[in-house]
Structure 1
């Protein structure tokens, strides 16, 4: 038997978007895409909170607090880390990725990962909807499907 989630929210599903403010030219577009997906798939404005942190490095810390609160059915994590001329990109992207994964496993919550890691601003903007597709929309859609799957599996 094949079991998979569908892109449908219950009216009562409460979702948080946790996003970094750094590179806001990109992250604002990711947030717009995530909100669009949420509303298109049955969510209501009243059940969607957007929480901003300074940068991608802080995302796992707030994710930990929000997941532990039990106030949300799912969380969509968004950010944009753009390579510069120093190793800083490598450290921040690795720690943000590991941190989100570790916190998700710690609580077993429904979390989607929408942190872009790109070589330049043009790549980031392309992935934030400037060209075809918006990774914020995709991350929220993945979360919605995951929530539906959790319900089907009663987990």
Structure 2
């Protein structure tokens, strides 16, 4: 029996240029996501000199800044990090939906992997769990997904 040709991304960040876009809103959570993403990328061969960290106000601004970075042609991938925590109004739903759609649009428009690390949580406790405690660190996961996608796209 023959096996199918398999294309898989190697988790090697050497030689890449990566932008990390991180919100200042809920920075006590987002800073943990940034730390996880930077640590992951460094452990997979990306020197700090090849990373650019862009700080922005909030999640609603993520798509615009990701688009500007993608359009610059300077980066092989982007990691988008933020945290939106549900409040008493529907504001949460609008911000999360538009930020998610906008980030996906940038990925498709520019054929550039954007690691999706925007936490959309019902409580502060859920955000803490996803920023490095029992839920893992979603900043690490976003960086890993972006890196693997870059390496897969190189083979297609």
Aligned with residue 32 of structure 1, among 35, 40, 43: 35
Aligned with residue 9 of structure 2, among 5, 29, 45: 5
For the aligned residues, what is the CA RMSD? Answer: 0.9
Name which one, 1 or 2, has greater alpha-carbon Rg.
2
Aligned equivalents of 1:146 and 1:103: distance in 2? Answer: 15
* Deviation (angstroms), 1:132: 4.8
* Deviation (angstroms), 1:114: 0.7
* Residues 1:88 and 2:91 aligned together: yes
Secondary structure class of the residue paired with 1:3: coil
Corresponding residue of 1:65 = 68
Aligned with residue 109 of structure 1, among 108, 112, 128: 112
Aligned equivalents of 1:130 and 1:2: distance in 2? Answer: 34
Q: Which runs of 5+ in 2 are unaligned?
A: none
* Residues 1:99 and 2:110 aligned together: no
Q: Deviations over 1:19-67 (max 9, x none)?
A: 1110001000000000011001111010011101100000001111110
1:115-154 maps to which residues of 2 (within 5 A)? 115-153=118-156
Q: Which runs of 5+ in 1 are unaligned?
A: none
Aligned equivalents of 2:69 and 2:75: distance in 1? Answer: 8
* Deviation (angstroms), 1:92: 0.3
Aligned equivalents of 2:32 and 2:134: distance in 1? Answer: 12
